Amino acid sequence: MVTIHNLHYSYRRQPVFTGVDLQLQPGHIYGLFGRNGTGKSTLLRNIAGFLFPQQGHIDALGFTPGKRQPAFLAKYFHVPEDFQLPDLSLSRWIQYIAPFYPDFNRQQFDHYAQEFAIPAVGGLRELSYGQQKKALISLALATNAPLLLMDEPTNGLDIHSKSQFRKVIAGAIDDEKCILISTHQVNDLENLIDNVTIIEDGKILFHQSMSRIAEKLLFKLSFDPEETERALYRESALKGHAVLLPNRDGQDSRPDLEMLYKAVLLNGKKINALFA
């Protein structure tokens, strides 16, 4: 669905990407993690065609995004971190924007709006930032665009809305769709994403599916000092240590995204070697 080959991008003389290769497949929800300024939003904007690769090539849904052809624009939806909705009522906004998306479904939109408890009366600008974001996410999902790019979608959402977000997104994915969510709040995507992508130093440092992660890595609470010493990553817990170990015995454990993220940043080479 999206193929990125040897992507180079820099802002003036500040390199952001120096040869990124990445493939995104339909039917998956990808979590894109990275420190501030590592280029998560830049990667999304390259895929969306807001920025043009300085070297390399991007193919998204069979299009070159930088050409910004209407047929391509109608097949993806980008939810930016910072946005401004027009000074209209919700229904009027939908009435005028929906026709641009051939697969838009009004019933679906109403369902998402109801799930998110977005007030139907009053203007969009009278809604809180979080409510506006939920309206935008509802529109994004109701367009049924095969490619959904979301930049920090949980910013500004309260705890209840974050869980609604996970529920709605999990219900919206199907075999035809691909959702790429960039965030630095990794825990917000717990139990939602099925692939983890971590960017660091202009490259993709880690790109694995959650099933492979669960297969190769063991997340556990350890009280054994020797085991703690052997861990790929460890951090003190209330009792003992939360550790990340190679999963040599095929044990079941629930991946902790935050721990994985920190472990990859600290010990990326060793962790990637386990997946080779």
Partner 1 sequence: MTTAPTNQFFHFSRWRLLVAKHWVEHRRPYLLSLLAIGGLYAAWFAFTIAIDAYAPMAPNMQFMAYITGLYAVGCLYSSMLLAPLNTKKDALPWLSLPASHLEKLLCTILFGVVLFFIAFNVVFYVVDIIMVQWSNTITFHHPRYFPGTTIRVQPVTVYNIFTADGAPIPEKNFHIFTSLYFAIQAAFLLGSVYFTRYSFIKTAIAVLLFILGFAFLQRGVIFPLLPKGWNNEFLDWARMSYDGGPPDTEVRVPKSLENVIVALGQFGLPLFFWFVTWLRLKEKEV
The binding site for partner 1 (CB under 8 A) comprises 45, 48-52, 68-71, 73-74, 76-78, 80, 82-84, 86-88, 92, 96-97, 99-103, 105
Q: Shortest Cβ distance from residue 136 to partner 1 (Å)?
A: 9
CB of residue 4 vs partner 1: minimum separation in angstroms? Answer: 17
Minimum CB–partner distance for residue 191 and partner 1 (Å)? 29
6: alpha, beta or left? (left if phi > 0; alpha if psi -120 to 50): left
- Length of the chain, please? 276
Rounded to a whole number of angstroms, the minimum distance from the CB of residue 162 to partner 1 is: 22
Give the nearer residue to partner 1 in terms of CB position, either 73 or 245.
73
Q: Smallest distance, Å, CB 105 to partner 1?
A: 8
Burial per residue of 115-130, b for 16 or more beta-carbon CB atoms within 10 angstroms, e otherwise:
bbebeeeeebeebeeb
Our CB check for partner 1 shows the closer of 68 and 270 to be: 68
Decide whether 40 or 241 has the Cβ nearer to partner 1. 40
Residue 248 CB neighbour total at 10 angstroms: 9
Single out the residue of 262, 187, 185 nearest to residue 217, CA to CA.
Answer: 262
Q: Which is nearer to partner 1, 84 or 236 (CB)?
A: 84
* Min dist. Cβ of residue 187 to partner 1 (A): 26
Nearer to partner 1, 36 or 84 (CB): 84
Choice between 89 and 272, CB closer to partner 1: 89
Rg (CA), the chain: 20
CA distances from 275 to 115, 207, 217, 272 (A): 39, 10, 9, 5
Shortest reach from residue 212's CB to partner 1, in Å: 33
Which C-beta is closer to partner 1: that of 22 or that of 79?
A: 79
Shortest distance, position 84 Cβ to partner 1, whole Å:
5
Rounded CA-CA distance 196/176 in Å is 19
Between 144 and 208, CB nearer to partner 1: 144
